[in-house]
Structure 1
Amino acid sequence: MPSPRTTGDAPATAATDTRTRILRATAMLLQRQGYEGTSIKRISGDAGVTQGSVYHFFPGGKEQLAVEALRYGADEFTELLRSGLDSAEDPAEAVAACAVLLADTLLTSGWTDGCPVAATALETIGASPDIQRAAEQALRQWQDLLTTKLTTGGIPDEAAVDLASTILSTLEGAELLCRVSASDKALHTAAQHLAQLVRLHTARPD
């Protein structure tokens, strides 16, 4: 017989799984179709739940769901960046690895699964402060991750912050070019040039 703890935890676990499926489906749809092109009906269908279940977990409706889905997608993108940054001790090689990983992800998904915040953030600027704030937090999180890698590699704090911003901007722009052209060339080119840029900073004398 299951213990009381196991029995009591089962509904909570099922609820968590359902909520996660809804967030995952929403995050995927937002980065592929944008905010306006994503409906509660489509979200519920992709998640395999009823529309009532979506509103049960997200009573604030589509906007609340978009905010939380952006955060969910941002966490997954953080893991991609962390994987690239952890792949090499040399910050130049690590940054290049991030670009290559992003290129591989895009290629595997048929040029659909890129940055989880870009499309939604641009589409909702001025219309939803909550979504804009979630997107800003995600971008700051990624920049901080890059900054930490750069400072660990010996780049001074202020220079590392600026360089991390440039790296992130380059990755975002290269990703857009890849998706539009259905080619990974822009990200592989970015990998080479970002590595060169990081090496210039690490080679500077104190």
Structure 2
Amino acid sequence: MNSKSLIIDIATTLFQQKGYIGVGLNEILKACNLSKGSFYHHFPNGKEALLIACLQSMEEAIMTDIEGIFERYPTTEEATNAMISKLIVNFETEGTITGYTFSSIVSEMASLSDPVRNACAQLYQKMQDIYSNKLVEDGLSQDTANSIALMMTASIEGGMMLCLTQNATAPLSVIAKNLSYILKEF
């Protein structure tokens, strides 16, 4: 792994654990065993540019995972249940879902940085597009699919945050059950 990728991986974990504001540049440098000069060589625009690179890296990993799940299952309901089950297993085995959630970064930075807000909005939109496309395959109209995809994104993302704050998987389990009920209605 090259230096830039290592910095992105370590910083992503730190940002997810402590938030953008909670992680100072010196902490990133220490965790990466890096000098300021080396850091600015890779990220001349500083910590915010690093955050955007972290979000892009998360986007690639999350999208690859979600796309893979949604391609393996014939219906949106089955794919959604498989995805949520995977999140629950990750939480139960690792005690966190940090690889998937970036809501804390959005809540922290959306009003402070348009580039960060745009990077987060793009990631959410790509999630919604995957859900919406699968719903259209299931026979729903594009408008209905878009509406349900938005609700799915908000529910799942909110469920992950509730799991983290409650230190329990119950929120995602409830969301999976209710999404199944909703998806069967269509």
TM over 0.5: yes
Residue by residue over 1:72-95, the C-alpha shift from the partner in whole angstroms, topping out at 9 and shown as x without a partner, is 112212223223323311211111
RMSD: 1.7
Residue by residue over 1:52-76, the C-alpha shift from the partner in whole angstroms, topping out at 9 and shown as x without a partner, is 3221100100011111111111221
Structure 1 residue ranges without an equivalent (≥5): 1-13, 202-206
Give runs of aligned pairs for residues 22-101 of structure 1, distance below 5 A.
22-101=7-86
**How does the TM-score come out when normalised to structure 1?**
0.83
2:178 to 186, 193, 205: 193
Q: Is the 8 A contact 1:143 1:168 kept in 2?
A: yes
- Per mean C-alpha deviation after superposition, the further-off stretch among 47-56 and 191-200 is 47-56
**How many residues matched?**
186
2:111 to 115, 123, 126: 126
Q: Is the 8 A contact 2:135 2:145 kept in 1?
A: yes
Give the letter for the 2:170 counterpart: K
2:165 to 158, 168, 180: 180
C-alpha distance in structure 2 between counterparts of 1:24 and 1:108, whole Å? 21
Q: Is the 8 A contact 1:147 1:164 kept in 2?
A: yes
**1:102 maps to which residue?**
87
Largest Rg, 1 or 2 = 1
- Per mean C-alpha deviation after superposition, the further-off stretch among 148-157 and 160-169 is 148-157
Change (3 A) 1:164 1:142: same
C-alpha distance in structure 2 between counterparts of 1:87 and 1:192, whole Å? 20
Give the letter for the 1:149 counterpart: K
C-alpha distance in structure 2 between counterparts of 1:144 and 1:45, whole Å? 38
> Offset of 1:31 from its aligned partner?
1.4
C-alpha distance in structure 1 between counterparts of 2:73 and 2:114, whole Å? 37
Structure 2 residue ranges without an equivalent (≥5): none
Q: Is the 8 A contact 1:146 1:164 kept in 2?
A: yes
- Per mean C-alpha deviation after superposition, the further-off stretch among 78-87 and 27-36 is 78-87
C-alpha distance in structure 2 between counterparts of 1:25 and 1:139, whole Å? 23
**1:138 maps to which residue?**
123
Runs of 4+ aligned residues of structure 1 deviating over 4 Å after TM superposition are: none
> Offset of 1:116 from its aligned partner?
3.9
Q: Is the 8 A contact 1:105 1:114 kept in 2?
A: no
Give the letter for the 1:85 counterpart: F
Q: Is the 8 A contact 2:88 2:172 kept in 1?
A: yes
